[in-house]
Amino acid sequence: MIYQFKSLFIRIIFLSSQMLISSCASDKPSENSLSVGAAFGIINPAPGDFIAGDRNNRKFSGVHDPLFVKAVVVSDSQHTVAIITVDCIGLLYPTLLEIREAVARQISPELLDPSHIVSSSTHTHSGPDVVGLWGQNQQSSGVNTEYMQRLVQIAAAKIIEAFEQKQPAELHYAETTYGEDWVYNISKPEELDRSLGVLQFTDLNGNSIATLTNFACHPTFMDGTNDEVSSDFIGGFYEAMDQELGGTNQYLQGSIGGWVQPEYEEKSFPNAFKRGRELADAVLSSLKNSKATVSTDIQFNRSVFSLPVSNEGFRQLASMGVIDRAITDSVETEIAWFRVGDAEFITHPGETSPVYSLESKKLMNTTGPKFVLGLGMDGLGYIVTPDFFDAENEIPHSEYLTGMSVDKNAGEIILQVIESLTNPE
């Protein structure tokens, strides 16, 4: 289904948004010009820090498996993009800006434009509160400011390390579908994007430097039942990928809003890790039939714009300092579209309904793989389709999902911004 955007209100918001579009495509493809570096660091919270997800006032007792920030930096002969993925519930846009500022103090913007640093969050519900919503009570923030400062420092350091370790690379990709037996949309069962996209960078001897995997599923096997630090099923995925491939392996979350979950599953660490290893097996199997990218060029466009905030709860939480962010009747955020070789990427600034992933891919131009990064650049709650807001539709879980959404029209505005980035006039 392709949404037609005729709302005058949406047009006004879109036209009045602040557009910062920076295109960086070279005129002619250059052969063998890709260089890639990768690095990762551990970002475990301390015992006693608040756990994000489920309910308030839950605290960590220890660590089951480590949380990571993983950085991959890719350059062609002229341009560079950095991609980080963070094991957390959803890194907010102001934190990304802090990371960019920290990197810019160490690397000249002429070498790495800080606006070309892109973030994604895995959305584990066994990670620290990086938003503020899960403190002792609903009136107090659960964010540990010292932890956030450390996270920013480590993320910036790993981007710099990856930049400094760049080496000549070759690029392959693979595509398949996955998760039919354990990943479900529990609000709209018929609406899912089961795409499993894989992008692998190898050195000139065929050794893996970095592998990027894009798949959509809430990491909520242990949601509400566990007080140990964990990346949930992604921990099992990382263990298997590291063992079989080496290099740095990134899990890039997809569109999980509206409401994509590991349903009908035993809620235990052994089962979560089993599913993660099975996902890794699917990735490894797909790479046996991978294709070499034809292009090695990089393009990058971005838009900084404002989304309307009709949800009074978000405004109140910001005014109380529970969410440390400027939120009034609108909130500033950012979307990036970029291409690396034959692969296209788009970011979504929250947990978007799967239909927005499918529609975003239709707006992309390449015949190569298409990656939708949910919780990309921001973590603005659920971004669901307008029909969720009509109680007469009786969509399961709609009351909760809309209560955690900034505005009914957010998704449609986001698609308009994406169209402007992928098809600039």
Residue 98, classed as helix, strand or coil, is helix
> In whole numbers, what is the pLDDT of the chain averaged over residues?
93
Are 363 and 418 in contact, with CB atoms under 8 Å apart?
A: yes
| DSSP-derived secondary structure letter, 381 | B
Q: Give the tens place of pLDDT for each residue, 250-307.
A: 999 999 999 999 999 999 999 999 999 999 999 999 999 999 999 999 999 999 999 9
Q: Give the tens place of pLDDT for each residue, 363-373.
A: 998 788 999 99
- Burial class of residue 417, CB neighbours in 10 A (0-12, 13-18, 19+): buried
Cα 409 to chain centroid distance, Å, stands at 21
Identity of the residue numbered 186: I
Q: Give the tens place of pLDDT for each residue, 312-352.
A: 999 999 999 999 999 999 999 999 999 999 999 999 999 99
pLDDT at residue 75, as a whole number: 98
> Distance between CA atoms of 39 and 23, rounded to whole angstroms?
27
Q: Give the tens place of pLDDT for each residue, 7-44.
A: 434 443 444 444 444 444 433 334 558 999 999 999 99
Q: Give the tens place of pLDDT for each residue, 186-243.
A: 999 999 999 999 999 999 999 999 999 999 999 999 999 999 999 999 999 999 999 9
Q: Give the tens place of pLDDT for each residue, 127-182.
A: 999 999 999 999 999 999 999 999 999 999 999 999 999 999 999 999 999 999 99
User: Which helix H or strand E contains 335, and what residues bound it?
Assistant: strand 330-340
Are 199 and 345 in contact, with CB atoms under 8 Å apart?
A: no
| DSSP-derived secondary structure letter, 131 | S
pLDDT at residue 414, as a whole number: 99
Listed in sequence order, the DSSP H helices in 171-330 are: 233-245, 269-287, 312-320
> Distance between CA atoms of 299 and 214, rounded to whole angstroms?
19
pLDDT at residue 14, as a whole number: 46
| Over residues 92-115, mean pLDDT | 98
pLDDT at residue 2, as a whole number: 39
